[in-house]
A and B are shown apart, each in its own frame.
Chain A
Amino acid sequence: MGNINFNDENMKQDELSIEENLILVKEKVTSREDIIRKLGNMLLENGYVKDTYTQAVLDREIEYPTGLQARVTGVAIPHTDTEHVLKPAVAIATLDSPVIFNGMGMPDTEVEVDIILMLAIHDPKLVVSTLRKVIFILEDDEALKKMRFAKSKLEIKSIMFNHIRSLANK
C-alpha cells in the first residue's frame, strides 16, 4: 500500500470510465450469469476488456462471490484478475427484479441483488481514487435508493457522478 492520496479532488488523474454505453436500466434477467454476460458483452464491445473477461468473472464469482448486503439493498461487484482488462471501467446495471448472488466472504449465504457494479480494473493503483468513491456508494443510502428507481442510463450516470462529487467535496 503506497501513500496514495485518495482525497485528491482531481478526478481526471485516472480514466475509470463510467459511461452510458456501459449502463443497463431495470434489465430483465433470469440469473446472475445472465446479467454478468450482458455487462461483459458491453465492456467487450466497447473495447474495455478481452474476450476472456466474462468467463473469468463467472468463474471467479463461484470461488469468490461478490454479493454485498448494503443497508438499502443487495449490490454485487463482480470483477476478475487484471490480465483480462484493457481499459478501466465500471459497468452498471439495475434489475427489474433481483437475482441471487452468493455473499462475499460468506459463499453459503445468498444476497438478493438488484444493483450490479461490474468492475474492469487493469491496475488498481492507477484508479484507486475514483474506484474507492464508486465503492463508497454502498454506504450512500440515498444514492442507492435513487439508483434503484432510476429510469434512464443518464439518470444512473448522474447519480453515480453526484455521489463521487459529494465525496470529492468532503
Chain B
Amino acid sequence: MYKVKIVVVCGSGVAMAMHAAYKLREYLEKEKLYAHIDGCGNNELPGKISAYDIVVSNAQVTVKTDKPIFSAIPLITGVGEKELVEKIIVKVREIQEEKSNK
C-alpha cells in the first residue's frame, strides 16, 4: 500500500506546523490512514515540495504547483476543522488508491 506523503508548512517551521501535523496524523489514524507527515518552514517548501503528494499550509503558498494545497488554519483554531479534515481524508484515499495501483 502506498504511503501518502503530506508536508505541513508554517511561516518558519517553529511551532505551528508541528501542532497541525500532530492533529492531522491523529485524524488520519482514526480512519486507519497511515500517511507520512513532515513539517517544514515556508522558505524550505520550494526545495521539498516535489517529494510530497499533499501540502497543508498556514502560510500563503507562493510556489507554483499542481499538487493539492489545503489551509492548516482550521487545525489551529478548530473553526471549520471537521470539513477540512473530511476533504483531506478524501484526497489521501484518492492518492493512496491511485499510487498503489501503479
B60 touches A139 (CB 8 A): no
B14 touches A82 (CB 8 A): yes
Binds B, one of A32-40, A63-71, A93-101, A156-164: A63-71
A128 within 8 A of B: yes
The answer for the CA separation of A135 and B78 in the assembled complex, in Å, is 11
- Interface hits, B20-38 → A, CB 8 Å: 21-22, 25, 37-38
What count of chain A residues pass the 8 Å CB interface test? 28
What A residues does B16 contact at CB under 8 A?
77, 104, 135
What count of chain B residues pass the 8 Å CB interface test? 26
Select which of A82, A105, A135 is within 8 A of B19 by beta carbon: A135
Binds A, one of B44-52, B68-76, B83-91: B68-76
B76 touches A128 (CB 8 A): no
CB distance from B77 to the nearest CB of A (A): 5
CB distance from B71 to the nearest CB of A (A): 6
What A residues does B38 contact at CB under 8 A?
1
**Number of residue pairs spanning A and B whose beta carbons lie under 8 angstroms apart:** 74
The answer for the CA separation of A128 and B14 in the assembled complex, in Å, is 10
A60 touches B12 (CB 8 A): yes
Least CB separation from B81: chain A residue: A139
A138 touches B77 (CB 8 A): yes
B59 touches A105 (CB 8 A): yes
B79 touches A132 (CB 8 A): no
A132 touches B76 (CB 8 A): no
What B residues does A124 contact at CB under 8 A?
14-15, 18
- A–B complex contacts, Cβ < 8 Å, 15 sampled: A1-B18, A1-B21, A1-B37, A1-B38, A64-B12, A80-B14, A104-B73, A104-B76, A105-B58, A105-B72, A105-B73, A107-B60, A128-B15, A135-B19, A139-B77
